[in-house]
């Protein structure tokens, strides 16, 4: 089945404007809903190449997390983990989504986990894509804050592909161009708070409360989730399925597009 970008739209949920992009097979809105929450500096549009493929099988929604892309932003808003998780809960409720797959990458996976303990309803399955497992008293997240902040500031001044290549040397020109175009929409205080909460907020406490089938996809070359982390997560959520995209770093679909979809196995049913 071919996949078609349907539209971009806004919904008022949790007191803010939440912008999203919607994808679906053959331009229809049929299929099980799938809500994708991107990572710390990834506006929704940067996940379009993934959403196009997911849209072959699912009614796919990619959210601009607050402080990014075309969603509400600015110093008047809160950007803590609980508030952002509540955005996800409110988003699914506002659109009346039922029996949805909730998928998140990196920061987005942390928000998805927290959303499950803060009132998310009608979630059928949960997909966690290489979430930071740092937290109080835990190993630090391997990426460093200046990598994010410096690249945002470069884009605010006006960056090109070559500027972005300094930060993402293995990416294609298409993805570098898209990042250069959209990274300026990432509100620096929101990014700083999210990064700091990778270390001050522990999502492990939420795992035992998850009662839906859950898949954890790890990056084989990312350094984010190690074997000891997998063992702890299995202990906290024995039903979890864990797979690894062996040839990818943390930005899995950018590093190994086919390997990313292979890592889903048959968890979502149709072959992706």
User: Phi and psi of 134, rounded to 5°?
Assistant: -75, 170
- Residue 270, pLDDT > 90, answer no
Q: Please give the Cα distance from 23 to 207 (Å, whole number).
A: 29
Structure tokens at 117: 């303990």
Instruction: Please report which confidence band the pLDDT of residue 28 belongs to, taking 50, 70 and 90 as the band edges.
Output: low
Q: Is the pTM of this model over 0.75?
A: yes
3-state helix/strand/coil string of 43-100: CHHHHHHHHHHHCCCEEEEEECCCCCCCCCCCCCCCCCHHHHHHHHHHHHHHCCCCCE
pLDDT digits over 228-247, tens only? 999 999 999 999 999 999 99
**Residue in 19, 198, 219, 230 with CA at minimum distance from that of residue 114:** 198
- Residue 84, pLDDT > 60, answer yes
pLDDT digits over 163-174, tens only? 999 999 999 999
Q: What's the rounded mean pLDDT across residues 72-101? A: 98
What lies within 8 Å, CB to CB, of 156 at 6+ separation is 184
Residue 1: per-residue pLDDT: 47
Q: Please give the Cα distance from 198 to 121 (Å, whole number).
A: 25
What lies within 8 Å, CB to CB, of 206 at 6+ separation is 113, 114, 116, 117
For the chain, the average pLDDT equals 95
Structure tokens at 91: 């988003």
Helix (H) or strand (E) segment spanning residue 129: strand 123-129
């Amino acid at each position: 089945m071919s996949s078609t970008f349907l539209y971009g739209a806004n919904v008022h949920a949790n007191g803010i404007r939440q912008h999203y992009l919607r994808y679906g097979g053959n331009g229809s809105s049929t299929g099980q809903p799938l809500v994708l929450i991107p990572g710390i500096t990834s506006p929704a549009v940067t996940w379009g190449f993934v959403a196009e493929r997911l849209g072959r099988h699912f009614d796919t929604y990619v959210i601009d997390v607050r402080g990014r892309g075309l969603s509400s932003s600015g110093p008047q808003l809160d950007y803590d983990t609980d508030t952002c998780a509540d955005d996800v809960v409110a988003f699914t409720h506002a659109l009346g989504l039922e029996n949805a797959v909730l998928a998140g990458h990196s920061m987005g996976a942390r928000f998805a986990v927290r959303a499950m303990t803060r009132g998310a309803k009608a979630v059928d399955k949960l997909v966690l894509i290489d979430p930071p497992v740092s937290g109080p008293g835990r190993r630090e997240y391997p990426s460093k804050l200046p990598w994010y902040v410096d690249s945002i500031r470069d884009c605010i001044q006006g960056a090109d592909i070559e500027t972005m290549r300094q930060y993402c040397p293995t990416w294609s020109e298409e993805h570098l161009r898209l990042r250069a175009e959209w990274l300026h929409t990432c509100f620096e205080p929101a990014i700083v708070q999210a990064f700091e909460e990778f270390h001050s907020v522990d999502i492990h406490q939420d795992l035992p409360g998850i009662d839906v089938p859950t898949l954890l996809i790890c990056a084989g070359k990312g350094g984010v989730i190690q074997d000891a982390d997998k063992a702890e997560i299995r202990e906290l959520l024995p039903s979890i399925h864990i797979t690894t995209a062996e040839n990818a770093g943390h930005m899995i679909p950018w590093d190994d597009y086919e390997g990313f979809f292979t890592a889903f196995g048959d968890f979502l049913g149709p072959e992706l």
